[in-house]
Structure formats: C-alpha cells, structure tokens
Structure 1
C-alpha cells in the first residue's frame, strides 16, 4: 500500500498502485557517487557514520574507475551502489529501479497491462505469490497464494532481487512463462505454464444473491475502484438489499485513497479507519465521514491472499464498524511505501511508515501480529488449492505424481470420485476420468490428454466461481442471515 506519488507495486503484471497523501522531494541524479547521497542528514545520537561512509564509497569508486581492468559505465556503478543499499535493508517492499526498469513500470499506468496477473513478494529468499488477480492467466493456470516461484523458462531465480525476478517473469501477450513452483504441503515441484495476456483493470464485481443478499467483490484498489464500488452499492441498495458481503479474498491491496474513500462511507460514527506511524513515532489518523450506520448488516470475506489495503478495509470494518470477518487469517502487510523519482528517470521506492488498525494493532508479518484474524474461521475445500494439470504427455493408469494428485482432487470436487487422492492413478481414477470425458462428450480413453485437460481446467474454474460451491461464501451467507433476522 502506497502513500505518495505514482509508484509501483511489485507485481508480475507490473500493475501500478499509487496514491498522493505525503509530499516528498525528488532527488536529482549525477555522475558523482557522492552526489547520490543527501548533502546533509541529521546524525543520530550514536552517529550514523555518514562522513566516513562517503569517503569509503568515494575511494571504492575511484579504485574501480582507475584500477579495474575493464571499462565500466559511471551510471552502472551509481545504480549498483543504490541497489546495494536498498537490498541491504532486507525489505521486500523497498526497491530501486534503474531508468529502464522504471520506464517499463511507468508504461503500465493505463487501464490495462500485459503479464500473468499476480502480485509477488520476496519471502525467505524466494519469489512468493501474494495473490493472483481474479480471472487472470495466473489464476486460470492454478497459481495460489504462498506459491514460491523458483524457475522461469528454465532460468533459476535464486539470488535475484525481487525486481530482477519480476523482469524474468513478465513478457509480451501470448508468450509462455513456464514456472517451477514450490507449494507448501506438496513434496514435489509443480510445473505450471502461464500464457501471458492483457489484463484489464476491472476491480469491482457486484451481484445480488438469494434472500436479498448483495455481494461486492473487490479484486484490488485502483484509481476507479471507489467510484465503481459506490455505483455498485447504490445499485444493490436500489434493489432492496437486506445484507451485504464484501469479498476481499485474494485482494493484494493498492491505492490508499481508494480504500479510504470506500471506508469513509461504510464506517459509522466518524470513527478511525487507520493510523500511519513513521520511525519517529509520529502518527497520522484517518477517520470516516459517515455519521449513521448502514441500515443492513455487513460481513467481510478474507483469506491468505488479502493484503495491504484490503487488510486496512477489513480491520476498519471490524474494529470501528463492528462488522464480522469470515475466512482465514490475512497475509500481514503492515507497511506503507513512498516512491521518489530521480531526474534521470530512475525511481526509489522505500518503506517509510507502518499502518495501524483503529485499535492501534500492527498486523505485519515481521514484528506484528502476522495478519488479521477472522471472527469466524472458514477454510476452502482441498480442491481449491489444486492446480489443473496440463501435462506434456497424457496422465494414465499406474502413473504417480503431483499432477495426478491435483487431478484427483479436482475430480473429487467436481463429483467424479477418483477413489484416492494420494497421486497414484488407480483403476477408480481412470473410471472417474472416463465419466468426466463421457459427460463432456470427449473421447472416452480414461487418460488425461490435452483436450481433456483443457476441458477440466474450464469446468474447474466454473466450479470455483459457483457461489453454491464456495464454502467460505456459504459460511458468510449463514452468518449474515442470522444478523438480518
């Protein structure tokens, strides 16, 4: 979540999520190593060693320029020095982008972008999926929150910065990103191929369910999200909505102004929405503008993919609004970043503050409570964590692999009992595949060939989107119905 300027989320899709609540001066770039550092910084009580550090940095710079056997570009040295300082922070949300990388980021400020459609972070030294975007190639291919991407098209991401890894994963529409993925709870490495595509930024989806229950899903907080949410809410209210479910599952966050605008109209009593707190302990409070509560109950759906701005909204609705959270403990991103542009087009995004819930809680993974906990726990079924297999060779009888296990989980969830879910392709699994093929008018071979795999993926996505099959949503509906009485 960001509180300054047109900055960039660490998204594989290179989606830009930005805001403008803090003012910060832009720095100018120079050919001198010394000039990349501030001219004057107040020393701490212990002394920050800036003068000695500058001399050391200048000496290293001169040694490289004068003694290093090969020619080296000045700008490359400067970029490397800044990158090194930022990487030394060991903060996955702080990053330096050289002019070329920053240009590519800024080129995605439109209403759509190309990529696989997922937000990532660096966790335990590995590129980790925070959440795939709804309807994105990443979601369709079966990427899930907490998946760790270790290779892209055969290239290892080990030792790369998050920024470097993202550059390997992104690519033009229609191209393939062949990912090797480590998934918690799975002993084998998953091989997932994602076809990159153009991703439109449509962040709000509303529908009226049975019994006067309205549901608004927010996939991320972008420039038009607050406006689209207000229009969707007005439309549902006009249809006589008796209760509202706000679905923040898989929402990786985004613009602070967007989430504040939404919260301002939902939280009653002009109560706190959130606080920001800088390293000096200075707090800024953000409060709601609404006086009276909405005339209907609200339930909020959250999961492990709910992060940053979505956690702000969920925490505000819970602690200041008194509304119920249903689902799983959230991701736990409790910091905010500021982006500053240099004159040469490069960009430094730096964690500048942490945000706190209305009750002053810090939910960050590092040092905080490690996520926002639901009032009512509801876990997704086992098949929701499965990845639709897309094998290069057909899966058939007596095979054993993680792909077979995923196949079995999906078949079971779709009502085709495979007999087992341990990854061994048994006779019963073969019968289940045949039943699926017969139902969908495919050649009945009992093998998962490419045509069957594509149809399985299509039907599986329909299952995941079916409200009747959504266990967490059904729990939220039950909770809401009790509150509507």
Structure 2
C-alpha cells in the first residue's frame, strides 16, 4: 500500500511539473506575440514580463530562440540580460549584427551590447564593422566598439564619416562622437544640427549644453575654502621615465624640435589627471584665466546673436530677443555678408565672430541679406552687455504655471523668485518646473530653489569626500518656504545633471513634487580648482567629494578604471515617460526637405498674407495639417514618403521660430507635441480637480492619456 501511495504521489508530482512547464511555455509564447504584433508591439514590456517569470524561463527561451523573428529575439535577449545570461546574450547579439537584419534592429543590438559588451569583443566587432554595408550600422558598431574597448580604429571610423557628402551621416557620426567624449571635432556639425526640430537636433542641443555647462560650471559647485597648499620638493618631481620620453621625442620625432618641454609636460599631466575621472582636469594659466572670464562673469559684451553656417554662409540662427541686434532689426536666418566692410565669404565662424566682437559702447556695421529682399542692407548694431536668458516662463491653460530652467546661473535664485511671483499674480494654481537638458550650475542656487518649496530647516544635500579638510562633510539646509503648497511636477531626462539632480532628488525625497520623465544623468561629484606651487597661475580641477541626498543615497554613477559606467545612479522619476521616437529615415527625409528649402519657400509664399493665422497655429494647431494654407498642394509637390503629420510637425517648428521673431520672445514650451509635459499637465489637473477634456487646448491629447 505504501508503495502505491508513493507511486501515486510521484505521478501527481510529474503531472504538476508538466502543467507548470506547459504554463511556462504558453506564457513565453504569449509575450513573444506581444513583441511581434503589427499594431503597437511591446518589446520591452514583454521582455520585463519574461524576466518576471524567473530563472526557469531561461531554458525555454533558449530552446525557442532560433525559431523566433529577429524583433522577438531582441526582446528575449533583453529578458536574458536581466536574468544574468550575459555570455549567451552577448554571442547572440553579435550574430544579429552579422546576419541580414533591418537597420533599426541592428542598432538596437549595438545599444544592448554597450551595456553588457566585453572588451574582448573588440577584434570581432571591428571585423563586423568592416563587413557592414549600411553606413548607419557602421557608425553604431564603431560607437559600440569604442564604448567597450576604447579602440582608436573606432574613433577613426567615426571621424571619417564627418567628411562624407551626406549631412545625415555626418550628423549621426557627430552625435556618436559627442556621446563618447570626442565632441570638439564634431562641434561644427552639432551646432548646425541643433537647429533641427528632430530627435537628432534635440540630442545635439543636449550634447552642446553639456559641453557648455557641465564642463564650465561644475568646478564652481564647491564653495568650501581652500586649505593651505602643500609644499612639493624638487626630489618629488623627478620622474626619469618622463624626462627620457621627452628627450627621445625632441631627438627622434619627425617634428620633435617644434615641441617645447612645457607643452610636453602639460600633455603628460593631462594624461595623469585624465586617469582619475572624466570631470578632473589640468588647466594652464591661460585656460584658467579664460574660464574665469567666460564662466564666472556670466554677462559678456557683444551684439546678442546665436550664429552658425547655412548654405555655406555665416547665418544668424536666432537673436537674443533682449539684445541690441534684435532691437536694431536683425532676425533669424539673416545672412551676414560683411562686417564693417570686411567680406565674410570663405571665412571661418571664429574669424567672423572675432570681427563682430568689440568694446562696450562701440558699434559694428553688418551687411545683411534676408530672403525676400531685393538686395542686402546695412544694419548698425551697438555692442552692449549681453545676458543670455536661462529661464523661460509661460502660463498654460488651466492656470498651470510653467518654468523652464536651462542652467543654475548666478542670478538663478533671483530670476526664479521673480518668475514665480509673476505666475502667482496671474493666478497660478499648479506648477511645472522643467529641468530637462539642464546640466547644472551653482550649488547654492540649487539649494535656494529647493528652499522655495519646502518648509522649515531641512537637509537638502550634503557633500563628503576622503580628505580630512577638503572632503569634510558639508551640509546644505533649507530655511523658509516662500511659496504656497500648490501641486507641483518636475520634468527630468537623461541630461538633467548635477544641480538639477539635487533639486529633483530633494523635492522627490520630501514628496513636494512628482518627478516625470527619464532617469537623470548621474553626475553628483564636487570639483575644486587647486592652485599649484610648481606652475603659478595654473589650476588642478580635482574631484574632491560626492553629493548625497537627504536619505544618504549618492546620485553619482559608479565607473570602472576605464571610465565605463558599471552602476547607473541618478534620480529615477515617479512616472517614467519617454520622448517620441522617430525612425532614422524620417531624419534623413527632414534633412532632404530642409536642404531643398521646402519649409522656407512655403513660408516665404504664405506667411505675410496669413500672419495672424500662423500666430495662432504656432500656439496650437490641434495637430491638424488642413489648417495650414494650401497644405495639400504643397505636400503633394514635395514628393515625400513622410506622412502629412510629420511634415506638419516640421513646418510648425519653422512657424514658431518666425512667430518668436515677430513677438520678440522665445516659446517656453510646446504642450501640444511634448509627451512628458502632457503627462505633467494630466497629473496636475487631477490634483486641482480639472477634467483635462474640458479644456479645448488639451482635448487633443486627453484621450491618449486616459487610463494611464
């Protein structure tokens, strides 16, 4: 009898296992269908579901893997990464790159390999790169190879694409170089690209913001006093290897006689400091003086214009609307042909800018050509102190106040207080603080801004390092709240860094604001410029401490000795929302239409006769292309594979630029096209008891957000 019971239990156990296995198989099949359905495929959501099934799902996925379409393979590999199957996943992702697969899937595979790829893949990836036919895939593989192995061949490949006769390829390569830290060579293309209303243009602007803000401002985050300088004896400065290398260079290098010892030692010191972390640096006296002049003194003397190159001509991309150039009549897209009679033809942007600059109180004569003019005209502009605005504000429908802060400059506290008081005076009931793309700035300004929204003496952030003096813990507290408890959201993305993360992290910690968007950059370190005894006037910009939020968490990414992120930190949002994705071919198509001046020609024909109508469309066109004069006929003439809505989106960006020139004020935001801001509006409307659908301006996106 006992044996019969055991056999019965064994049979029941085996049947249970069979049912469990069948259930696992069916659930895997279900989530694979999610990945491959034609309408609204959900690759990453399905991958998360597979991961949630636990480690028992790994052999099931592997058994089915070879029968799956590539898009499902990528989703399944994402789940296997989360389950720790890194060696298997790495091998399969490389196979996806080698096989004949669509471009977008290969680029997805490179993105996943950037996270898990091993440096030993260098040789194999370079071979795959050389065999790849698609130039966009080549760029993605080159970027990947640099990320995991620091291969000079990868950088050489990316630099080569900067010289091709195809701006879209140049742009892809420039963005890749910017992302891997080789931004200088890509600056001319990124400066041109940033003007485009595309994801590429947004990314170019983000990279340029980081270059201009993070590298220039973060040194000033530390307000702690310097400690007495340590004396360095001559014995400590003797490094026979360095001396010998310098001698060999001077003696044998093909142009070794042109290198001074000072230049070579500076290069050696640069290398030593670069081996510590990406934010530390050695500055010569000249570099330090330039930093003080251009960064600490936020105002500069000039005429107040953003410039670039278009059609081979020096072009005003946009005036500073509070500056003298705009007041004198200079507008966006004006071509500058001469500066004080000196021709700008075949001159570099730097050469022309130097001619335009001058002493305060003097003037400069610009020979300007504007599309539609029969001939060029001369405009005289006074040189004045210019302050580039870093804060933009707007009252949105439903009395929702909005402030976009692009950096934490010296006057950020004052500007923020003034803007908040005006919004409150205008009847603000809820508030959006937009910190997307904000690379940081002065720490005290960040603390002051947090102070406006939380009450009592509360810890905002503290810094702490290793050195007993320079790294001593330093606490930053709030004092008194100056603004009421109106509902508040903060928008953040992957380019919100440092001071932005401190503000977002503190407001989230004290539950004062809801964070919406993407995980932030993860830059929470303190740099201090340290004077050097051995090189008077020079500075060693050194990371001396890290920043910690009130709960003790550090926002700074953890990196290995090669500078690769091994643990991503930053601030995670309460509600995650991504930017809209555009297929790469749409970027190419936008560039084609831009180069044939499709948008400019349309506006030259219709804008002046319909100026009031275009002002209204710039504010809100209800995503309706039929509202634009003669749109159908114009769209047909373009012979484009882009949809009518894509073309409307691109055209409206150009319309908004012209309207900004008319009004002398830049648009602060665009709630019609911005999914993160839309979600923020939705959340705030719930808190102030407004049905989003009841507001005509929001009705167009209300249905899409319903149920989220």
Taking structure 2 as the reference length, the TM-score comes to 0.43
Could you say what secondary structure the match of 1:445 adopts? helix
Structure with a larger share of its residues in helix = 2
Indicate the residue corresponding to 2:682 in structure 1.
478
Whole-angstrom distance in 1 between the partners of 2:455 and 2:412: 21
Whole-angstrom distance in 2 between the partners of 1:479 and 1:443: 37
Indicate the residue corresponding to 1:129 in structure 2.
none
Whole-angstrom distance in 1 between the partners of 2:440 and 2:299: 17
Deviation at 1:115, TM superposition (A): 10
Whole-angstrom distance in 2 between the partners of 1:235 and 1:174: 36
- Work out whether 1:335 is the aligned partner of 2:525: yes
Q: Which moved more, 1:344-353 or 1:357-366?
A: 344-353
Deviation at 1:479, TM superposition (A): 1.1
Structure number with bigger Rg: 2
Taking structure 1 as the reference length, the TM-score comes to 0.60
Deviation at 1:259, TM superposition (A): 0.9
Indicate the residue corresponding to 1:373 in structure 2.
572
Whole-angstrom distance in 1 between the partners of 2:629 and 2:389: 34
Deviation at 1:379, TM superposition (A): 1.9
Indicate the residue corresponding to 1:111 in structure 2.
299
Q: Which moved more, 1:460-469 or 1:202-211?
A: 460-469
Within-5 A mapping of 1:333-412: 333-342=523-532, 344-366=536-558, 369-383=568-582, 387=587, 389-391=590-592
Does the CA contact (< 8 Å) of 2:492 and 2:517 recur in 1?
Answer: yes
Structure number with the bigger relative contact order (C-alpha 8 A, sep ≥ 6) is: 1
- Work out whether 1:24 is the aligned partner of 2:211: no
Could you say what secondary structure the match of 2:672 adopts? helix
Deviation at 1:384, TM superposition (A): 11
Indicate the residue corresponding to 1:61 in structure 2.
243
Indicate the residue corresponding to 1:286 in structure 2.
476
Find 2:464's aligned residue among 243, 266, 277: 277
Residues 137-172 of structure 1: CA deviation (Å, up to 9, x unaligned):
9xxxxxxxxxxxxxxxxxxxxxxxxxxxxxxx9956
- Shift of the 440–108 alpha-carbon distance from structure 1 to 2, 3 Å rule, reads farther
Whole-angstrom distance in 1 between the partners of 2:556 and 2:624: 39
Does the CA contact (< 8 Å) of 1:99 and 1:345 recur in 2?
Answer: yes
Whole-angstrom distance in 2 between the partners of 1:287 and 1:232: 23
Deviation at 1:250, TM superposition (A): 1.2
Whole-angstrom distance in 2 between the partners of 1:216 and 1:349: 32
Could you say what secondary structure the match of 2:422 adopts? helix
Deviation at 1:467, TM superposition (A): 1.7
Deviation at 1:347, TM superposition (A): 3.0
- Shift of the 438–103 alpha-carbon distance from structure 1 to 2, 3 Å rule, reads farther
- Work out whether 1:94 is the aligned partner of 2:280: yes
- Work out whether 1:230 is the aligned partner of 2:417: yes
Does the CA contact (< 8 Å) of 1:116 and 1:170 recur in 2?
Answer: no
Whole-angstrom distance in 2 between the partners of 1:327 and 1:66: 54
- Shift of the 443–484 alpha-carbon distance from structure 1 to 2, 3 Å rule, reads closer
Does the CA contact (< 8 Å) of 1:379 and 1:471 recur in 2?
Answer: yes
Could you say what secondary structure the match of 1:233 adopts? helix
**Count of residue pairs brought into register by the alignment:** 352
Whole-angstrom distance in 2 between the partners of 1:14 and 1:274: 19
Find 1:240's aligned residue among 424, 427, 443: 427
Whole-angstrom distance in 1 between the partners of 2:688 and 2:652: 38
Deviation at 1:278, TM superposition (A): 0.6
- Shift of the 355–369 alpha-carbon distance from structure 1 to 2, 3 Å rule, reads same
Could you say what secondary structure the match of 1:468 adopts? coil
Within-5 A mapping of 1:168-207: 171=350, 201-207=388-394
Residues 18-65 of structure 1: CA deviation (Å, up to 9, x unaligned):
3561122697xxxxxxxxx9527xxxxxxxxx97x744x156326735
Does the CA contact (< 8 Å) of 1:13 and 1:170 recur in 2?
Answer: no
Whole-angstrom distance in 1 between the partners of 2:445 and 2:583: 29
Residues 248-307 of structure 1: CA deviation (Å, up to 9, x unaligned):
111111111211111122222321111111125742211100268723122111111211
Does the CA contact (< 8 Å) of 2:501 and 2:571 recur in 1?
Answer: yes
Whole-angstrom distance in 2 between the partners of 1:384 and 1:261: 41
Whole-angstrom distance in 2 between the partners of 1:258 and 1:466: 26
Deviation at 1:460, TM superposition (A): 8.1
- What runs of 5+ residues in structure 2 fail to find an aligned partner? 1-208, 308-317, 321-347, 355-384, 560-566, 599-621, 641-647, 660-666, 690-708
- Shift of the 116–277 alpha-carbon distance from structure 1 to 2, 3 Å rule, reads farther
Structure with a larger share of its residues in strand = 1
Indicate the residue corresponding to 1:39 in structure 2.
232
Does the CA contact (< 8 Å) of 2:246 and 2:264 recur in 1?
Answer: no
Give the alignment's Cα RMSD to 1 decimal.
Answer: 4.5
- Shift of the 22–481 alpha-carbon distance from structure 1 to 2, 3 Å rule, reads same
Whole-angstrom distance in 1 between the partners of 2:672 and 2:515: 20
Deviation at 1:234, TM superposition (A): 1.1
Q: Which moved more, 1:352-361 or 1:439-448?
A: 439-448
Could you say what secondary structure the match of 1:249 adopts? coil
- Shift of the 441–349 alpha-carbon distance from structure 1 to 2, 3 Å rule, reads farther
Does the CA contact (< 8 Å) of 1:12 and 1:116 recur in 2?
Answer: no
Q: Which moved more, 1:377-386 or 1:70-79?
A: 377-386
Whole-angstrom distance in 1 between the partners of 2:306 and 2:231: 38
- Shift of the 438–366 alpha-carbon distance from structure 1 to 2, 3 Å rule, reads farther
Indicate the residue corresponding to 1:220 in structure 2.
407
Whole-angstrom distance in 2 between the partners of 1:173 and 1:456: 31
Whole-angstrom distance in 1 between the partners of 2:244 and 2:538: 23
